[in-house]
Amino acid sequence: MFRWVFFIIAVTALVMLTSAVVEFQWIGWCLSSFSCVGWAYFAYVDKDTPRFLMELTYFSAALWGVYNWIGIS
């Protein structure tokens, strides 16, 4: 059940990140980071270390995207 929720969040983030509305892309990055945390949790529970590390890498990239879009100094 929750895997589908995180999948829908990931697809929503993808739509927001590929939209032409730049003002909302930071929301897409936030949703993406949230989705990555969920998928990393499921990978950890499944004892799938490579997928867990991949999701943590995507999570850090998504946080970098939020940082870039919001412009935190």
- Three-class SS of the chain: CHHHHHHHHHHHHHHHHCCCCHHHHHHHHHHHHHHHHHHHHHHHHCCCHHHHHHHHHHHHHHHHHHHHHHCCC
Q: Across the chain, what does the average pLDDT equal?
A: 89
Inter-residue contact 29 to 62 (CB < 8 Å): yes
20 has a pLDDT exceeding 90: no
Percent of the chain with pLDDT over 70: 97
Sign of CA dihedral 9, 37, 27, 17: negative
Per-residue pLDDT at 73 exceeds 80: no
